[in-house]
Amino acid sequence: MASDSDERKERLIEDVRPSLRKRIRVERVLDQLHTIENDQKEQIRQKARSAGDLEAADHLISAVLRKPRDTGWFQAFVDALIHSGCKYAADCIQPDNPVDPAEEAENDYCVKLIEILSPSLMDMKTEVVNLECSAKELITPDDVEKIKTTTAIEGNRGGARELLRSIVRGRPGWFSQFLEILRGTDHKHLYELTGGSSDCDKTVGKLPSLKDEPMESEAAAGSHDSPEFMVISSTNEPPEEQDLYQGVSAKSRELPDSVEPSTSDPVEAAGGPEKDDIELRDYQMNVARPALEGKNIIICLPTGSGKTRVAVYITKKHLDHRRKEGCSGKVIILVNKVPLVEQHFNAEFQPFLKHTYKVERVSGDSQLKISFTEIVKNNDVIVCTAQILENYLERANTGDDEGVDLSDLTLIVIDECHHTQKGGVYNHIMMRYLKQKHKNIRLKKEQKKTRPLPQILGLTASPGVGGATKMEKAEDHILRICANLDASKIMTTDLGQFKREPRKSIQTVEDRKEDPFGDLIKNIMNDIHTHAELNPTSNLGSQTYEQWVVQKERIAATEENPKVRVCAEHLKQYSEGLNLCNTIRMRDALNFLTEYQEEEKKKKKSPDADLVIKTTETEQFLFNLFEGKKKELKQLSEKPEFENDSLSKLRGKVLHEFTSRDKARGIIFTKTRRSAIALSQWIQENPKFADVGVKAYHVIGAGDQSVVKPMTSAEQRDVLTKFRDGEVNLLIATTVAEEGLDIAACNFVIRYGLVTNEIAMIQARGRGRAEDSSYTLVDVKNSGVAEKECVNEYRITMMNKAINKIRTLKQEDYDRRILEYQMQAIMEGRMRMKKKQQQQMQTEKGEVKFSCRSCSKHVCTGEDIQMVDVHRVNVSVEFRKLFIKRENTTLQERHCDSETETSEYVACKDCGQRWGSMMLYRGIDCPSLHVKNFVVTFNGKKKTKCTSWSDLKIKFPDFDYIKYGSHQLGESSDEDD
């Protein structure tokens, strides 16, 4: 009989589990429950910290039901619920007195109404209402103390949030008592808002019960007469799993529409909030206040603290105020990376502002960029990349085309504003602003009409110290950023209980006891040194060695020494191979070297059977040298005992994260595109990772500066979307994903042999947004990351001290220093412009010649080159006789406004050296030259360094389309004949 009774009670608990799990206060119930082992309790507490009370309650219920069970287990559970203040949860599992479904549904309606009205209810006098609720036993003594503590730490609104969380867990009937308390504590407006009668002598307002609920047709017909019912029924009921009070972690639970420091996920916000109310935490409101008064400020808050939500709030209040004043507002949100356009638009600005204002986004990938002026005219809020705004500001300045003027805008929000320095696009925009600001000061003195300027709001997690080693220099660096943004203040604050610091650890590595693979590569390199008569003075594979090799290659190219030049090129690749085998698998390093050798051999094979491309004696020596060692390298690369220790440490860390967490999701940051791709493949091919549920993929940059095939912006977005959705749970990324990427569920970050500056460290660490997240640094041989990390920690401490010191400056002292820096920036900008103009005047008269970097053959002069946008194309008829075309499998089709780069490159007909790529411009094939592939002689002197066109200060004429097109048309007509 006892067994049958237990089974009935178990079924009863399972039947009401969805309702029960929403009403359990896990921590308190665990303190009262003695039928669960301590280790089980600790696991459940850990679950509460990492995933929230809702999931933890599920685990608690399962632990209670787990067999074998002690005698009296059911009553012990009921008693624990009662003594922990979860009396309504205890009522739900009483077998002899089950909860009335209609009563439960009505209670759920009350909870939902409180959720909907929570933004307004948080204006209550928390201390007074807390005492009254305690007197009427609507909350427990523990609740009372927690509400008092929260109020003391977070302020009145924080305490109100905690009070509302507590009160909605009470037994049915709490709602009418709560209304009575509001009325009796001089909260008449809140009392009426929550359903109370406007006549205080009448009965306290009450929600309609299900017994009185009209049928669907009746409800529709009578909706105008039932405003209270409309308020409730117009909000879609959340799924059972989404209790808005318990569905988040214990430390960061919030009411609807309040700001979560870690929530900025486009997927989670796809539907967006259904109302315009944006509630800020007290610390967020504190930093926003000067901006709400119309002042220019920088908001400096840690990653994951809700900076973007604060910007949305300021944007809305700014537009609301201007609308109230009868003026139109125009807000532009500037970001520095294309993926952030979609993120800010989808996750923040569109969901909260779409009901009241027109919101649009534009990026370099968007077709809307061609009509940006119209987009600005027709929308209230525009999220865009900074370069687009700069381009259209320049159009307005030159008058060549319809553009955008700063006076058209009323607020500019600059995300990651620490980039507003030096030659960055943010700084170009702000220099226009500062020039007009100081011109306005002059015009005002002359009593002339000034031009309006927008308010500026900068957002950053870290302004950095700019490489400073002393506090004074760190202050100067931060003040210059403030000056560039015309900020009247830099606002920061202590987050209190909302501060999230990931657990940090550093994984050091040991040198291999044996490294036969690396030793064999070094032997090859020493053979090349002997052949080229080179004597290196540093360790092979070190950064110093790589710099030495690059210098040798440049000197040899200018001195027309092909033997040393080609040997230096191969040594550079072997040095990279050494570094790769310290970072990724030996087989990946071997694949890299093999691909390089095959590409070099391919250069010596002409697509034209009649044409023979010469292979020099040195080139043949280098090919034979690798070919002779290739088999042995392959055998060594297949022996796991010789793999580097860094990979072993990385494997252990990833496996630990995925076995110790229910839902692990992490990012590994690595230095190069090649290592990101190789690590992704290593993880995908290793069954140990698959066994614990790892689904990995890489995300790398979209630029074409690297020899590794880049990702398009569309491909980046696709991977990041899959990461947000959970289809990919381990992202291997270069620094492209360090800034701004918001994934609320990301709970571990690993930097693999990669440390740059203190800003990047803060940004990377901040990608771990979830509770109980971890940040790990894995060392790699020759990387020195552990030492660099210590330096960055010191710089962060210096930065925080510098910010605090700046905030204590008297406003007049601060303003004076800001004005000095602004005047200096404007004067330096004028000097740079004058110098640039002088250089252009001088270099236009210069004579430039280009010769093949490999075989030193004369190729062309500057007179043969014309400009197509930013590309230098050779228009000489003779030039076409000097090169061959080859298919370039790594080159992607790239669609721009005026040109398409095809999948062919051009190479020297004699030696196979690549010179550039074929480009299709308005139907015409144009050979576009890459200057790094040539030795450049300028005014009779060879330039030792000329890796980009910016190194060559010469202005080429614009492309003569008619002349060049007529010639090609004539050639094609002859062929047609």
pLDDT for residue 811: 92
Q: How far, in Å, CA of 643 to CA of 637, rounded?
A: 8
- More confident site: 666 or 779: 666
- The pLDDT score that the predictor gives to residue 784 is 67
Q: Lowest-confidence range among 573-577, 693-697, 744-748?
A: 744-748
Mean pLDDT of 468-491: 92
Distance from C-alpha of 315 to C-alpha of 354, rounded to nearest angstrom = 12
d(CA 411, CA 316): 11
CATH, domain 282-498, list 3.40.190.10, 3.40.640.10, 3.40.50.2300, 3.40.50.300: 3.40.50.300
Residue 196's pLDDT band (cuts 50, 70, 90): low
Beta strand extents in 681-729 (DSSP E only): 696-699
pLDDT computed for residue 154 by the predictor? 75
Q: pLDDT value at position 889?
A: 61
Q: Give pLDDT, residue 610.
A: 67
Lowest mean pLDDT of 223-232, 477-486, 498-507, 951-960, name the range.
223-232
Residue type, 197: S
Task: Specify the higher pLDDT residue, 308 or 99.
Answer: 308
556 pLDDT higher than 80? yes
**Which of 177-181, 895-899, 921-925 has the weakest average pLDDT?**
895-899
pLDDT above 70 covers what percent of the chain?
Answer: 80
Q: How far apart are CA 967 and CA 925, in angstroms?
A: 12
For residue 95, is the peptide bond before it cis, meaning its omega torsion is within 30 degrees of 0? no
3-class DSSP assignment, residue 769: coil
Distance of CA 597 to the CA centre of its chain: 37
What pLDDT is stored for residue 211 in this prediction? 36
pLDDT tens per residue across span 928-951:
999 999 999 988 888 888 888 888
Q: Determine the pLDDT at residue 526.
A: 95
Q: Rounded mean pLDDT of 480-496?
A: 87
Domain 503-507+644-804 has CATH 1.10.8.80: no
Q: How far is CA 579 from the centre of its chain?
A: 28
- 260-297 residues labelled b (16+ CB within 10 A) or e (exposed): bbbbbbbeebeebeeeebbbbbebbbebbebbeeebbb
Q: What is the pLDDT of residue 11?
A: 81
pLDDT digits (tens, 9 = 90+) for 823-842: 988 888 888 777 776 666 55
Instruction: Tell me the percentage of the chain whose pLDDT exceeds 90.
Output: 28
Domain 1-92, classified CATH 1.10.533.10, yes or no: yes
Residue 503 gets the label, from left (phi > 0), alpha (psi -120 to 50) or beta, of beta
CA 383 to chain centre: 15
CA distances from 516 to 510, 633, 781 (A): 16, 9, 16
For residues 567 and 618, the answer to whether their CB atoms sit within 8 Å is yes
CATH architecture observed for domain 101-194: Orthogonal Bundle (1.10)
Place 663 in a pLDDT band, splitting at 50, 70 and 90: confident
pLDDT in tens, 862-898: 889 999 888 899 988 889 889 988 877 655 444 444 4
Exposure of 818 in the CB half-sphere (CA atoms within 13 A): 22
Q: What is the pLDDT of residue 241?
A: 33
- DSSP secondary structure string, 172-217? TTHHHHHHHHHHHTT-HHHHHHTT--SSTTSPPP-PPPGGGPPPHH
| Residue 706: pLDDT band with limits 50, 70, 90 | low
Q: Tell me: the pLDDT tens digits for 102-137?
A: 777 788 788 888 877 777 788 888 888 988 888 888
Q: What mean pLDDT comes out for the span 348-363?
A: 90
How far is the CA of 408 from the CAs of 358, 405, 448, 863, 875, in angstroms? 16, 5, 20, 43, 42
State the average pLDDT over residues 397-414.
87
- CATH 3.40.50.740 is right for the domain spanning 848-970: no
Task: Please state which of the four CATH numbers 1.50.10.20, 1.10.3720.10, 3.30.930.10, 1.20.1320.30 is assigned to the domain occupying 516-641.
Answer: 1.20.1320.30
Average pLDDT, the chain: 80
**What is the reported pLDDT for 133?**
87
Q: What is the pLDDT of residue 614?
A: 86
Confidence (pLDDT) at 1: 43
Domains 282-498 and 503-507+644-804 share a fold: yes
> What 8-state DSSP symbol labels residue 727?
S
- Please report, as a single letter, which amino acid is at residue 229: F
pLDDT, position 249: 33
How do residues 17-53 score in pLDDT, each as one tens digit?
A: 877 878 888 888 888 888 888 878 888 887 777 667 7
Between CA 918 and CA 873 the distance in angstroms is: 9
Domain range list for the chain: 1-92, 101-194, 282-498, 503-507+644-804, 516-641, 848-970
Specify burial of residue 449 (Cβ count, 10 A radius: 0-12, 13-18, 19+). Answer: exposed
Nearest by Cα to 489 from 768, 804, 730: 804
pLDDT tens, residue by residue, 557-587: 988 899 999 999 999 999 999 988 888 899 9
